[in-house]
Amino acid sequence: MIDVHTHIFPPEVASRRDDFLKDDPAFRWLYQSPKARLINADELVQAMDAHGVEKSVTFGFPWRTMKIMRWHNDFILEAQHRYPRRLIGFACVNALEPGAAGEVERCLALGLQGVGELAFYQEGLGDEMLSALSPIVDLCQGYGVPLLLHTNEPVGHAYPGKSPMQLGDLYKLIKAFPDLKLILAHWGGGIFFYHLLKKEVSDTLKNVYFDTAASPYLYRPEIYRLAVEIMGPEKILFGSDYPLLPPSRYLKEMQNGGLSPEHQKLVTGENAARLLDGQH
């Protein structure tokens, strides 16, 4: 199994959580509850061993200040160095922060293997964000690495991390960067349903993949079968959002949702291995 969506933090963030909550509104929104776990690299690898996960893509948080962004990315680099056969580190930045593209370039040059999870929890995906993402996308394409983007469904209940995102804005972003290897977290907010349209959309989404992060909280198990019917099994990537949920929850829902054993192999590892080929 390859898990394309996990989060790890330096131990100091867990031990001094209140200090970081004060300084970053987005971090406070997602992690102010003591139930929101903060784990380090060793704890992630231990959980991977317990759940039969061979490799995990892992990343930090889009902090609002460059100093903390660099510190967290250095932690990801060190974790990947310690567990080169297990962890695939991505660089995480706040794209609106001056110097974000330079930080991405630094991280990719030092060996991180992608960019993500980029998130715009409060800003949404307007023209300003497209402009901020452009140099980061250029770097991803130059290094041949994927970008993982936080998305969410624009309807339904509110929850920490649900941004003011509209699918039209997301579609505009995808069209702006047609050659980018793009992973949309959380099923892309449901944008893949528009593969059913007769014109344009399936071609626009040709380089787009969808991870399953938080699926048990957001969608009925049937989403696995329906997603395969709508766009095929090759575009779906298993992501747990660990430590939010354990991999076992997803495997159970894949079975309950009618995903065949052959398609489950693609979703839980083979698709990600092909996408990340040569990067680990």
Q: What is the pLDDT of residues 97-110, one digit of tens each?
A: 999 999 999 999 99
Mean pLDDT of 15-32: 96
In the block, tokens 């394309």 appear at 4
Which of 69-73, 121-125, 143-147 has the least mean pLDDT?
A: 121-125
pLDDT band at residue 280 under the 50/70/90 scheme: very low
**pLDDT of 165 higher than 60:** yes
From CA 182, how far away is CA 252, in angstroms rounded? 27
Q: What is the structure's pLDDT at 176?
A: 95
**pLDDT of 217 higher than 80:** yes
Question: Around 46, how many Cα atoms within 13 Å sit in the side-chain half-sphere?
Answer: 7
Task: Give SS3 for 253.
Answer: helix
Q: Work out the percent of the chain whose per-residue pLDDT is above 70.
A: 99
From CA 53, how far away is CA 79, in angstroms rounded? 17
Mean pLDDT of 10-27: 96
Please provide the distance, in angstroms rounded to a whole number, between the alpha carbons at the two ends of the chain: 14
Residues 6+ apart with CB under 8 A from 107: 73, 76, 77, 91, 115
Beta bridge partners, 7, equal 59
Please give the sequence-ordered ranges of beta strands (E in DSSP) within the chain, or none if there are none. 2-7, 55-59, 87-89, 115-118, 147-149, 182-184, 208-211, 236-237
DSSP string, 57-88: EEE----SSHHHHHHHHHHHHHHHHHSTTTEE
Residues 6+ apart with CB under 8 A from 150: 117, 118, 119, 120, 121, 161, 163, 185, 186
Q: Taking Cα atoms as reference points, which of 200, 204, 208, 150 lies closest to residue 181?
A: 208
Q: What is the structure's pLDDT at 123?
A: 80
Tell me the two tokens of residue 105. Answer: 């370039």
**pLDDT of 254 higher than 80:** yes
Q: What is the pLDDT of residues 189-200, one digit of tens each?
A: 999 999 999 999
Q: What is the mean pLDDT of the chain?
A: 95
pLDDT band at residue 53 under the 50/70/90 scheme: very high
Mean pLDDT of 177-185: 97
Q: What is the structure's pLDDT at 158?
A: 87
Mean pLDDT of 113-124: 91
Mean pLDDT of 177-183: 97
**pLDDT of 72 higher than 80:** yes
- The more confidently predicted of residues 158 and 102 is 102
**pLDDT of 80 higher than 80:** yes
Q: What is the structure's pLDDT at 279?
A: 47
**pLDDT of 278 higher than 80:** no
pLDDT band at residue 204 under the 50/70/90 scheme: very high
